[in-house]
Chain A
Amino acid sequence: MTENLIETVDLHKSFNLKEKGTLHVLKGVSEHIAKGEVVSIIGPSGGGKSTFLRCLNLLEKPDSGKIVFEGVEITNEKVDINLHRQKMGMVFQHFNVFNHLSVLKNITLAPVLLGKRSQAEADEQARQLLSRVGLLDKQDEHPSRLSGGQKQRLAIVRALAMEPDVMLFDEPTSALDPEMVGEVLDVIKALVKSGMTSVIVTHEMGFAREVSDRILFMDGGVIAESGKPDDIMNHPRNPRTKEFLSKVLY
């Protein structure tokens, strides 16, 4: 048995929409992410992929159900979620690099502020990370002068600087111009190869198939199907998976 890094039990989440009542987005999601596992989440828009991912580090608070991360039930009110978030890196669709800080400061702010490293150590580590993603020459730049692909690579190493045990990606390439998708996917591929546990929401089917140990198909607030990439892509059992794949693949 491999060890579970994240376990969710029967997660439910609704959003209050002002006029139209409530929208039930997650309808009981139970899932395990094993240590070292690479899991991609695919599915139609509005199916709850982002909401599920954002529940994992409690950026969204589930209404019911529980989340266990490294043996700790983080949905328990008494747990200091800030400590556990340090171990869960997140990469956003719109990069969310800190606009008022230099490239280097973007990376060093959290480790220094949270007492993980001295400024000198953090600077040194940040330079190593930047050179890994080919951005060392940009260390003193302002993020507004970076391209989308460069911003996303920066966002990835910013998360890595906290030395997380898992990385959560929410459509990391959806906001990029097509010519920049490759450079970001390459960084993620290298990361995944190095053994980083990852949960990746993506519309890049070829990429999902290549890097994933397992693919989850989410639709209508539940995980409708889950399996090895080859099984999901070539032999989907659920008719909704079939329909979705036929739309995105052809």
Chain B
Amino acid sequence: MNYFSNIVKIMAKYWKVFLLEGVGYTLLLSLITVAFGVILGLLIYLGRTVRFKPVNWLCIAIVEVVRGTPMLLQLYVGYFLVPKLLPFEVTPFLCVAVALCINSGCYVSEIFRSGIQAVDRGQTEAARSLGLNGRQTMFRIVLPQAVKNILPALGNEFITIIKETSLASTFFVGELMTACLKVRGNTFLAMECITIVGVIYFVLTFILSKLMNAFERRLKAND
């Protein structure tokens, strides 16, 4: 079988491009996205709950627009808009990262919202009836329980992002899918290259989802 021997040959020659550069940039981009996505998601969630209507509307509008347009389009917007907004030279990697963070922030804000809403209203009522104020109730009663809903969902968001960063290859930012394009261009062996990155993506997300499951079981066990 030429196909399998080709894969072995490609890996022998290009393993650094796939495993170091590709996986490295994919994980870096994903980690940046999740980290800033969580911060942004928290801000958007807070923006939706403050008692000032224009801020509520703005946050709702951002979330709706991001959820209602394709990711690839948002990457294009980031790619062309971010350099115009910043006074210094920016790399495509940064532009794409900004777009990914905003996208993720919107989804994460929904994760926060549903995770907090899933905590029984009776918990809040009991806390308030004891004399706790709104902030104490949020931090001592609601959030500690919401975390159990939020953390697993954040794990899934991370896995989703790992896959979605492949779209960033449109702008040649060096992650796994870019690695695939590069090697394909050098070798003209399309199926073999696609197979290699497919397996790498799968292994990455599979390991992560198993870790998440174990973590979720630990959370449940503490109940």
Contact = CB atoms under 8 A, between A and B. Distances in A.
A238 B16 CA distance: 89
Nearest to A144: B223
A94 B127 CA distance: 14
Instruction: Determine which residue in A89, A95, A113, A114 has the highest number of CB atoms from chain B within 10 A of its CB, and name it.
Output: A113
Given A99-B145, A113-B136, A85 B130 contact: yes
B223 A162 contact: no
Nearest to A162: B130
B140 interface: yes
B53 interface: no
B131 A162 contact: yes
A82 interface: yes
Contact of B132 (A88, A94, A110): A110
Contacts of A159: 129-130
A59 to B, nearest CB: 6
B123 interface: yes
Contact of A82 (B120, B131, B144): B131
Given A109-B140, A142-B223, A96 B130 contact: no
The B interface, classified by DSSP as helix, strand, loop or mixed, is helix
B133 interface: yes
A90 B129 contact: yes
B223 A94 contact: no
Contact of B123 (A86, A96, A113): A96
Contacts of B129: 57, 59, 85, 88-90, 159
A98 interface: yes
A86 B130 contact: yes
Given A99-B145, A109-B140, A59 B131 contact: no
A247 interface: no
Instruction: Determine which residue in B129, B133, B145 has the highest number of CB atoms from chain A within 10 A of its CB, and name it.
Output: B129
Instruction: Determine which residue in A83, A90, A95 has the highest number of CB atoms from chain B within 10 A of its CB, and name it.
Output: A90
Nearest to B141: A98
Contact of B131 (A83, A94, A99): A83
26 contacts: A57-B129, A59-B128, A82-B131, A82-B132, A83-B131, A85-B128, A85-B129, A85-B131, A86-B130, A88-B129, A89-B129, A89-B130, A90-B125, A92-B122, A92-B125, A92-B126, A95-B122, A96-B120, A96-B122, A98-B126, A100-B141, A100-B144, A109-B130, A109-B140, A158-B126, A159-B129
